[in-house]
Amino acid sequence: MHLKIHCRHWISSLQFITILGWGFLTAGIFFGSWWAYRELGWGGFWFWDPVENAALLPWLFATALFHSALVSKKITQLKNWTILLTILTFLFTLVAFFLVRSGVVISVHSFAYDPGRGMFILFFILLLFFYSVSLFIYRKEFYESKNKAANFISKVNFILLNILLLITIVAVVCIGTLYPLFIELFTGYRLTVGAPFFNLSLMPILALMLIFITAIPLLKWQVNKWQLIKYKLSLPFILAAIITLTIWYKYDGNLLLYFILLLSLFAGFVLLAAISKKENMSMLLAHAGFIVLIVAISLYALFKQEKELVINNGERTQIAQYKLELKEIRPARKQNYFVRIAEFAIYKNGKYLTNLYPEKRLYIIEQDQTSEAAIIRQQFLTSDLYMVVGDLREQGIYTRIYYNPLVNLIWLSGLLMVLGALVNLKNIFITDNTYCNFPLT
């Protein structure tokens, strides 16, 4: 029994299914990030939580898969990569399911778990892995590419390099997520791998990806003249360098973050040139979403501010251009919880703006404590002032204040990616309206 790889429409079917799933997963990841930002009181949008990482793994593989499928459809290359990535995408979807439902990781995002069900899922994953990989190796000659790219500087090679970088990111995320589990299993010692590990490991990989992403829209599939490519890249790079150096001159910060910002702006200006030529709009929307995401995260990381303090009635504090005065702390009883409400008057540049009311709740039956963040959003995309209160102390109430610049651009980037997926689905449905149902013989 084997898959008829020579079927003319199998890649169109695969593209449609992959992009549909990728679009839903993208929407889910960004919506979950938005929910966590507003509801959990952590003050950020991504925490490298094990369940967040579990959702990211199949997303990365699916991203690699539809790029590989695009190459296979256009010039019949990377068919072996397309089949292998199809297997890995499905397997890591099951791995994510296992991590979330088995109880091996503890997270606020975890669902109800059952260790017995977890063992069954793990056995099923291993069975599928050995069967799928064995079948892939056995039928390898049926989908090996006969044609090779004429030279290194070609669209197909740069896409392949980005696929390899995506797989490298998967490896890093897997190590950071699963390594503590193995340490605890074999030594009993509980280890935490946090944001510093992921940020330091992934930023150089991301920088390389941005270099290839910048060049890909300008490259042809096979033969390219480097002199012509270099000419087309010159003006976007100069513009990106001027903007980055201007920001760096005014605001000192992490040089690696500024380098990421430079590359993302560079890629963005190249993409704008491609948009002006009315090229593939689905690709442009999805890539624009990714570039907006990287620019927003870079600027957010460079300019965010955080303050922790204990503040009492009538006292004032300041963060960024905001001044905050605690007016009062008042307890209250609601239907199923006790609540402590802190009322803050907010001033911006010396002018009264509004009042914020962060809360600390204690649910009576569960004896669970939660924090309700208070957020003030300025002009939608510019910044958020984010406040969370904790326990009462002798000197006042414990308070965390965050100034989060451009954080809302992150949600916009997710919307652009989902729109790109929808446009791509429409294009496939219109241009490839006959699908292969993957016949087996």
Q: How far apart are CA 212 and CA 160, in angstroms?
A: 10
Q: Quick check: 118 and 101 in contact, CB under 8 A?
A: yes
C-alpha dist (Å) from residue 411 to 260, 268, 355, 417: 20, 18, 25, 10
Q: Which amino acid is at 290?
A: F
Over 70: is that where the pLDDT of 1 sits? no
Query: What's the whole-number mean pLDDT along residues 325-333?
Result: 93
Q: How far apart are CA 64 and CA 268, in angstroms?
A: 20
Least confident of 23-27, 118-122, 143-147, 354-358: 143-147
Position 6 scores a pLDDT of 47
Query: What's the whole-number mean pLDDT along residues 263-278?
Result: 82
Q: Could you please report the per-residue DSSP string of 184-225?
A: HHHH-------HHHHHHHHHHHHHHHHHHHHHGGG--SS---
Q: How far apart are CA 118 and CA 50, in angstroms?
A: 16
In three-state secondary structure terms, 324 is strand
Query: What's the angle, vertex CA 388, arms to CA 382 and CA 391, rounded to 5?
Result: 165
Q: How confident is the model at residue 222 (pLDDT cuts 50, 70, 90)?
A: low
Bridge partners, 330 (sequence order): 341
Q: Are strands 368-372 and 351-356 parallel, antiparallel or unpaired?
A: unpaired
Q: Is 350 left (phi over 0), alpha (psi -120 to 50) or beta?
A: left
Reference 235, options 206, 272, 261; nearest CA is 272
In three-state secondary structure terms, 386 is strand
Q: Could you please report the per-residue DSSP string of 126-173?
A: HHHHHHHHHHHHHTGGGG--S---SSSSSHHHHHHHHHHHHHHHHHHH
Position 230 scores a pLDDT of 76
pLDDT single digits (tens) 148-172: 555 677 788 889 999 999 999 999 9
Query: What's the whole-number mean pLDDT along residues 255-267?
Result: 93
pLDDT single digits (tens) 356-408: 999 999 998 888 888 999 999 876 667 899 999 998 888 889 999 999 999 99
Q: Quick check: 285 and 398 in contact, CB under 8 A?
A: no
The mean pLDDT of the chain is 85
Q: Which helix (H) or strand (E) holds 356?
A: strand 351-356
Q: How far apart are CA 242 and CA 234, in angstroms?
A: 12
Q: Which amino acid is at 387?
A: M
Q: To the nearest whole percent, how much of the chain has pLDDT over 90?
A: 51
Position 2 scores a pLDDT of 45
Q: Quick check: 209 and 162 in contact, CB under 8 A?
A: yes
Position 365 scores a pLDDT of 86
Q: Are strands 383-393 and 396-405 parallel, antiparallel or unpaired?
A: antiparallel
Query: What's the angle, vertex CA 76, arms to CA 73 and CA 80, rounded to 5?
Result: 100
Compute the chain's Rg from CA coordinates: 25
User: What angle in degrees, to the nearest 10, is found between the helix axes of 408-431 and 281-303?
Assistant: 170
Q: Quick one: tokens of 405?
A: 């610049």
More confident residue, 288 or 367: 288
Over 60: is that where the pLDDT of 438 sits? no
Position 223 scores a pLDDT of 61
Q: Which residues contact 353 (CB under 8 A, 6 or more apart)?
A: 322, 346, 347, 376
* Global pTM value: 0.89
Position 146 scores a pLDDT of 58
Helix locations, 277-407, DSSP H: 281-303
Per-position b or e across 372-400, b if 16+ CB within 10 A of its CB: bbbbbeeeeeebbbbbbbbeeeeebbbbb
More confident residue, 102 or 369: 369
Over 60: is that where the pLDDT of 434 sits? no
Q: How confident is the model at residue 420 (pLDDT cuts 50, 70, 90)?
A: very high
Q: CB neighbours (10 Å) of residue 440?
A: 8
Q: How far apart are the first and last CA of the chain?
A: 5
